Copies of this chain bind each other. A is one copy, B any other.
Amino acid sequence: MKLGDGVEQAIHCVAILAALPKDGLLPAAALAEFHGVSTSYLLKHLQTLSRAELVQSVPGPTGGYRLARAPEDITLLDIVLAVEGPEPAFRCKEIRQRGPNPLPGYMFKAPCQINRVMLRAEKAYREELRQVTIADLAAQVRTDDTEGLIEARGCAFFDAAMRHYAP
């Protein structure tokens, strides 16, 4: 059981975008540099978030990304499902029916009980994530992430950020 790195990157990106001033924009390259990941790779996730309508992209020389909705309306679950996909972690392969012996199919009308329990646990997992919004995280992100940026003059991220949201 593992969660891809993309999830962490995506969450941090959304959190930082939430900390931008109103109508602020941040180019993908700036987000990538700040996180120390390749721009091309991060773009993949940003575009996924864009398709999921969690963020908006603005093309052009002064373009970039911003949130598509209010921070209160974006939950961690939204981000995780967008990046990781909606399929549950446990997929019942119905191995009960795979044996070479002629187990009659009518014995398996009922869905596998094991599958049922595993999915119930996953539902609890998602429910927890659904209750946390980006707005809930915003305060700390503003403190931990962006406050550092203010001091980081000369950093390309800072330059880009200033150029975009404080022209």
Contacts and interface: CB of A to CB of B under 8 A. Distances in A.
Interface in A83-127: 84-85, 89-93, 95-96, 98-104, 107-108, 110, 112-114, 117-118, 120-122, 124-127
Given A8-B92, A101-B34, A144-B96, A127 B124 contact: yes
A66 to B, nearest CB: 20
A114 B35 CA distance: 15
Interface residues of A, number: 66
Contact of A2 (B1, B36, B93, B141): B1
Total copies of the chain: 2
Given A33-B100, A35-B99, A100-B155, 7 more contacts: A3-B89, A11-B114, A37-B98, A76-B117, A101-B149, A113-B137, A114-B137
